[in-house]
Amino acid sequence: MFITTILKYTRKKSTFLRTNIILNKNLDKLNKILAVSIGGLGDTVLFSPVLKALRKAHPKAHIELLVANRLAYEAYSNSKEISHVTFVNFNHSSSLLKAACIFTLILKSRLNGKFDRGFFATGLNPKLGKLMKAIGIVNDFTCAPVVPRWPTDFECNLELCNRVDGTIGHQDAFIPETEVSESEAINILNRHNLSLKDENLLAVYPSTELLHRPRWELSKLIKAIKLIKNDGYNGKTVVIGSKTEGEEWKAIDKENIVDANLAGKLSILGSASLQSKCSLTIGNEGGLMHVAGAVGSPLVAIMANAPLSYRPPGKNVKVIHSKHTCCNGFYPNRPKGCKKSKCTEDITVEKVVYASKEILNEKLLKINPLNPT
pLDDT one-digit tens code per residue, 332-372: 555 565 655 677 888 999 999 999 999 998 776 566 766 65
The enclosing domain of 40 has a CATH number of: 3.40.50.2000
Residues 229 and 155 in one domain: no
> What is the reported pLDDT for 333?
57
The answer to whether the beta carbons of residues 122 and 146 sit under 8 Å apart is yes
Residues 161 and 41 in one domain: yes
Residue 331 resides in a domain? yes
Asked if the model's pLDDT at residue 17 lies above 50, the reply is no
> What is the reported pLDDT for 135?
85
Instruction: Choose among 254, 349, 362, 253: nearest CA to 299.
Output: 362
Residues 140 and 206 in one domain: no
Predicted model pTM: 0.87
Asked if the model's pLDDT at residue 25 lies above 50, the reply is no
Q: What is the extent of the structural domain holding 163?
A: 2-172
Among 149, 172, 195, the domain-final residue is: 172
Residue 372 resides in a domain? no
Residues 189 and 167 in one domain: no
Residue 369 resides in a domain? no
Residues 232 and 154 in one domain: no
pLDDT digit string, tens, across residues 161-185 = 999 998 999 999 999 988 999 999 9
> What is the reported pLDDT for 329?
44
pLDDT digit string, tens, across residues 127-150 = 989 988 988 889 999 999 998 889
Residues 307 and 236 in one domain: yes
What's the rounded mean pLDDT across residues 290-307? 93
Asked if the model's pLDDT at residue 12 lies above 60, the reply is no
Among 172, 199, 230, the domain-final residue is: 172
Residues 80 and 142 in one domain: yes
Query: Which residues are CB-neighbours of 309 under 8 A, at least 6 positions away?
Result: 147, 148, 151, 152, 153
Residue 368 resides in a domain? no
Query: Which residues are CB-neighbours of 93 under 8 A, at least 6 positions away?
Result: none
Residues 323 and 190 in one domain: yes
- Other C-beta atoms within 10 Å of 369: how many? 8
Pick from 43-57, 101-115, 143-157, 275-289: least confident: 101-115
> What is the reported pLDDT for 100?
66
- High-pLDDT (> 90) share of the chain, %: 61
> What is the reported pLDDT for 270?
96
Residue 17 resides in a domain? yes
> What is the reported pLDDT for 136?
86
Residue 82 resides in a domain? yes
- pLDDT level of residue 23 (50, 70, 90 thresholds): very low
Residue 13 resides in a domain? yes
Long-range contacts made by residues 206-209, C-beta under 8 angstroms, separation at least 24?
206/239, 206/241, 206/245, 206/248, 206/249, 206/263, 206/283, 206/284, 207/241, 207/245, 207/283, 207/284, 207/285, 207/286, 207/288, 207/289, 208/241, 208/242, 208/244, 208/245, 208/286
Asked if the model's pLDDT at residue 230 lies above 60, the reply is yes
Residues 207 and 260 in one domain: yes
Pick from 67-71, 89-93, 308-312: least confident: 89-93
> What is the reported pLDDT for 213?
75
Higher pLDDT, 254 or 214: 254
Query: How many domains would you assign to the chain?
Result: 2
Residues 186 and 266 in one domain: yes
Residues 152 and 202 in one domain: no
Give the chain's mean pLDDT.
84
DSSP state, residue 24: P
- pLDDT level of residue 15 (50, 70, 90 thresholds): very low
> What is the reported pLDDT for 335?
58
- High-pLDDT (> 70) share of the chain, %: 79
Residues 131 and 265 in one domain: no
Among 121, 155, 172, the domain-final residue is: 172
What's the rounded mean pLDDT across residues 85-107? 70
What's the rounded mean pLDDT across residues 72-86? 94
Residue 341 resides in a domain? yes
